[in-house]
Amino acid sequence: MKPYKFEDLPDIIGKLLTRIDSIEKLLQENKVNSVAADDDLLTISEAAKLLKLSVATIYTKVCKNEIPANKQGKRLYFYRGELLNWIKSGRIKTISEIQQETELKFNSGRPFK
């Protein structure tokens, strides 16, 4: 890195602000794209492909109210974000996570649920 002079500071700060603005724009675009992806409406075959399950399994889970779905007439629709959250909700905790939760509850003096 070359040494800068005091007189160079205004130019350097201007360049930094320009780069920060471009980074902020990229982050905003990325945020909008990820929100739009969560709102994508999927058909049952698209949902089956996303979840790597058969269409029959999806129908069974919908009948048992195990999976979030939207019904319009005879057709089922799914939101990508809801399906991904549903998958995340079934996460199995590791032994260390269970131990940490137990220690926190024990140390806080709150009763166990």
Whole-number Å distance between alpha carbons of 73 and 28: 37
CA angle 31, 37, 39 (to 5 degrees): 110
The domains of the chain are located at: 9-37, 40-89
Give the pLDDT of residue 108.
74
Give the pLDDT of residue 111.
58
Which CATH class name applies to 40-89? Answer: mainly alpha
Q: Which two tokens stand for residue 26?
A: 């990229």
Q: Which two tokens stand for residue 16?
A: 């930094």
Give the pLDDT of residue 34.
61
Q: Is the C-alpha dihedral spanning 66, 70, 71, 75 positive or negative? A: negative
Give the pLDDT of residue 113.
56
- Report pTM: 0.54
Q: What are phi and psi of 75, to 5 degrees?
A: -100, 145
Q: For each of the chain's 113 residues, which pLDDT tens digit applies?
A: 678 888 888 898 999 999 999 999 888 887 766 655 567 899 999 999 999 999 999 999 999 999 999 999 999 999 999 999 999 988 888 898 889 988 888 887 655 55
Give the pLDDT of residue 47.
94
